[in-house]
Amino acid sequence: MKVAIVTGAAQGIGRRTAEVLAAAGYALALLDVQPCEATLAQVRAQNVEAQELLGDISDEAVVTNAVQAVRKRWGRADVLVNNAGISFIAPAETVEAKAFLRVLQVNLLAPFLLSKAFGAMMLEQRSGSIVNVASVAGLVGIADRSAYNASKHGLIGLTRTLAAEWGGRGVRSNAVCPGWVKTEMDVADQAGGGYNDADIEGVNPMGRFAMPQDIAQAILFLADSERSGFINGQALAVDGGRRVAAVRAHRPAHWPVAGRHCLQGQKCLCLFSSRHIDPDQRSVIRHLLHVFALPSIVSHREPDLGGQLLRRRTAVSNSNLHGICWWWYEVRNRVEGAPQAFRAGCAA
């Protein structure tokens, strides 16, 4: 019997991962700060052994007790899924040290403690797989998430370090890096008003959020030595292609008609969002124009006003700049019938 330890198992990615691992025949130790009754019911319905272990995994004593419980019941640990984590969204200049530290404790210190403790069991066996649930926020920078980004960058660094140290001793270490996932954490983050579903769906080439099932299947792949036995030290992005997509393969139906188009025969940088960049960010816009060798930037916010008015509103003097928004979605080379007023604005 193979044994998997899953943290943050009460909900979201952790719960679905536990269910997927149970279907694959793993016995399960489920760790969380909140009860895992629903998860336990689902996995036990699949006729696998499961045990709930409650506590704050950033506390080394809690981790030690969990290791003792797993060793006593099963005598081995084959897979560790470090999934538990917390989100924290705030401008960097407003983040207090206490809040920053708490994110690091849960998102980085806890995976280290668990990897150290259960990794020792795996090293004794000379076999095992550690799968850390990091984030695309550990691969790039995302605004207003200084603590979260730092924790996930650190988690990927830990993943690679353990891979280098333990790979030759039979223990693999990899990370899964989800994009935005439709979970309870996403609901809580959206409640803060920083983004909505359309913001995420609009920038993803696949036009949707990830679901817990998407991440759980990637975790199962990395956990299984038969499928991924020579994969070690990798950070697997499971984000629908968002991180690497420079050009959208398709557009969502809700995009405004005018915002889909550029002036006939020109290239332009198309931006779609809910607010304008502040005037003091004009240097960034000019830089984008230079980097992409584009004659214009178009906006969907108020295309009927034309480029001249948008230039006045944003106090940007570049005569080729016809409107600015917060981020860009796609580069397009042709127009499919933008409104006359919009074309006139672009031609101003």
pLDDT by residue (tens digit) across 65-104?
Answer: 999 999 999 999 999 999 999 989 889 999 999 999 999 9
| Strand residues in the chain grouped as ranges (E) | 3-7, 27-32, 50-54, 79-82, 128-133, 171-178, 235-238, 268-271, 297-299, 328-332
Please report, for residues 94, 171, 183, the alpha-carbon distance to residue 209 in angstroms, rounded to integers and kept in the order given: 29, 32, 10
Q: Give the model's pLDDT for residue 184.
A: 74
Among 202-206, 242-246, 340-344, which is the least confidently predicted range? Answer: 340-344
- Give the strand order in the sheet containing 128-133: 50-54, 27-32, 3-7, 79-82, 128-133, 171-178, 235-238
174 bridge partner residues: 131
% of residues, the chain, pLDDT over 90: 53
Of 302 and 212, the one with more pLDDT = 212
Q: Are 298 and 332 in contact (CB under 8 A)?
A: no
- Exposure of 70 by Cβ count < 10 A (0-12 exposed, 13-18 middle, 19+ buried)? buried
Among 41-50, 145-154, 191-200, 300-309, which is the least confidently predicted range? Answer: 300-309
Average of per-residue pLDDT across 256-269: 36
Chain segment 276-307, per-residue pLDDT in tens = 434 434 444 445 445 444 444 444 333 332 33
| Residue numbers annotated as active site | 148
Q: How many residues does the chain have?
A: 348
Quickly state the pLDDT bin for 348 (edges 50, 70, 90).
very low
Q: Give the model's pLDDT for residue 179.
A: 81
| Res. 182: pLDDT tops 80 | no
Instruction: Output the six-digit token pair for 128.
Output: 């095992």
Q: Which CATH number fits domain 3-238: 3.40.50.720, 3.30.2230.10, 3.40.50.1980, 2.60.120.650?
A: 3.40.50.720
Q: Which residue spans of the chain are classified as CATH 3.40.50.720?
A: 3-238
Helix (H) or strand (E) holding 74, with range, is none
Long-range Cβ pairs for the range 134-140 (8 Å, 24+): 134/159, 134/175, 134/176, 134/177, 134/235, 135/177, 135/178, 136/177, 136/178, 136/179, 136/237, 136/239, 136/242, 136/243, 138/175, 138/177, 138/235, 139/177, 139/235, 139/237, 139/243, 140/243
Q: Give the model's pLDDT for residue 240.
A: 79
Chain segment 225-245, per-residue pLDDT in tens = 999 999 999 999 988 777 665
Q: Give the model's pLDDT for residue 208.
A: 72
Average of per-residue pLDDT across 326-341: 32
Chain segment 23-63, per-residue pLDDT in tens = 999 999 999 999 999 999 999 999 999 999 999 999 999 99
Q: Are 58 and 109 in contact (CB under 8 A)?
A: yes
Q: Give the model's pLDDT for residue 308.
A: 31
Residues 6 or more apart in contact with residue 290 via CB below 8 angstroms: none
